[in-house]
């Protein structure tokens, strides 16, 4: 899975406060945006907007190449600035001086990062009457978004009876996805979930172990933990007893 297959989109926003008059309720600021959706920045666009009391008054767009006014005051200033070659040349150059360097930093710092998915295989109950069993393969906390999850039975990819979700955004740059396989268990078969992602050097296989139901495995794990804890407590008590015994002085009774 090459990086060229990944969808990319970025917006860099720089805001400058031009003036505030709290007594009269005036608020004026300028907002610069660098927009792009390609790795080579071929569609990079620089936008500068002047805002007065939350309403955009005038805008420069590098694609348009000039100022456009949205109010009477904005139209007046747009006409004046568009007739000044020095102002236009400076604004057009800011696509390179402001946007290109910042956009490249964003790509290097964020969009090229790769986080391996955390994969879990769990057993559930099939929702339809066609098959008695259901396996769910869940991948959590991965980045970038694109991922491929497939099912295999005895080395052969399964295409039917599979339901997969879209990549779901967690809201913190990470994604999750879930794939369900409805099936009828057979003795001795091998069922696995195969995950392919940009963070992995090769596809990773997760094999389902049907030797014991999941609740029973959980009980064994809890029991083993309790046994280990009991041994630790017993050993600690024995050491304490031996330590106290060494400090005693035996007095003859007769």
- Mean pLDDT, the chain, integer: 79
* CA pair distance 198, 45, nearest whole angstrom: 28
Least-confidence region, from 3-17, 59-73, 158-172, 228-242: 3-17
Instruction: Report pLDDT for 131.
Output: 65
pTM across the whole model = 0.48
Residue 152 or residue 17, greater confidence: 152
Q: Is the pLDDT of residue 3 over 50?
A: no
Instruction: Report pLDDT for 171.
Output: 81
Q: Is the pLDDT of residue 111 over 60?
A: yes
* CA pair distance 89, 86, nearest whole angstrom: 5
Q: Which two tokens stand for residue 77?
A: 């200033």
* CA pair distance 158, 189, nearest whole angstrom: 13
Q: Is the pLDDT of residue 194 over 60?
A: yes
Domains of the chain: 3-111 (3.10.320.10), 118-207 (2.60.40.10)
Residues 52-74 pLDDT 10s? 888 999 999 999 999 999 999 99
Instruction: Report pLDDT for 53.
Output: 86
Q: Which two tokens stand for residue 80?
A: 């004046």
* CA pair distance 135, 164, nearest whole angstrom: 12
Instruction: Report pLDDT for 224.
Output: 39
Least-confidence region, from 148-157, 201-210, 240-249: 240-249
Q: What does DSSP assign to residue 166?
A: P
Q: The dihedral of CA 85, 88, 94, 95: what is its sign?
A: negative
Instruction: Report pLDDT for 254.
Output: 43
Instruction: Report pLDDT for 196.
Output: 96
Instruction: Report pLDDT for 26.
Output: 78
């Amino acid at each position: 899975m090459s990086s060229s297959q990944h969808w990319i989109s970025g917006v860099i926003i720089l805001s400058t406060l031009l003036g505030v008059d709290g007594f009269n309720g005036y608020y004026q600021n300028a907002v610069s945006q660098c927009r792009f959706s390609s790795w080579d920045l071929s569609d990079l666009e620089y936008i500068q907007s002047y805002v007065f009391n939350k309403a955009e008054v005038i805008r420069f767009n590098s694609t348009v190449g000039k100022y456009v006014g949205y109010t009477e005051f904005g139209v007046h200033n747009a006409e004046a600035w568009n007739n000044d070659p020095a102002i236009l040349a400076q604004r057009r150059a800011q696509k390179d001086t402001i946007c290109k360097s910042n956009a490249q930093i964003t790509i290097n710092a964020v969009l090229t990062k790769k986080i391996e998915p955390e994969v879990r295989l769990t057993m559930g109950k099939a929702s339809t009457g066609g098959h008695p069993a259901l396996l769910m393969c869940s991948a959590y906390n991965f980045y970038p978004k694109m991922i491929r999850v497939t099912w295999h039975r005895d080395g052969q990819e399964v295409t039917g009876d599979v339901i997969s979700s879209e990549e779901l955004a967690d809201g913190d740059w990470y994604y999750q996805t879930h794939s369900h396989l409805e099936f009828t268990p057979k003795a001795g078969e091998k069922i696995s979930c195969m995950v392919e992602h940009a963070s992995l050097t090769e596809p990773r296989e997760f094999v389902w172990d049907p030797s014991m139901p999941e609740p029973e495995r959980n009980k064994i794990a809890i029991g083993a933990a309790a046994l280990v804890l009991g041994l630790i407590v017993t050993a600690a008590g024995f050491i304490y007893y031996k330590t106290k015994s060494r400090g005693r002085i035996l007095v003859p009774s007769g």
